[in-house]
Homo-oligomer: A and B are copies of this chain.
């Protein structure tokens, strides 16, 4: 899980459902994750996709300007177009501002904690 993003960071919640064709998706997704990590203001990303084809990726950004710059990134724009043309049946993007965060880990807490 990413470094702890602190308020008032921005979370971009990308929820998607696959269509029938998923060929090439994993490679594109890995490339986008690497590219996002190079952007100014990127704070971290979590991604999960279940066997039902529903995927959730949450990326965290320092501020709205960093989100806008990532949205406009030329290679990212091309990946979005490819995603609509090829892989996704539907998706939603939800941009939200962090209000508070809590973290917990078994390791930090210790047995019985």
Contact = CB atoms under 8 A, between A and B. Distances in A.
A13 B58 contact: yes
A55 interface: yes
A101 to B, nearest CB: 5
Stoichiometry, as copies per complex, reads 2
Contacts of A74: none
Contacts of A10: 99
Interface residues on A, range: 35 or more
Contacts of A56: 46-48, 56, 58
B46 A48 contact: no
Contacts of A84: 104, 106, 109, 113
Contacts of A103: 90-93
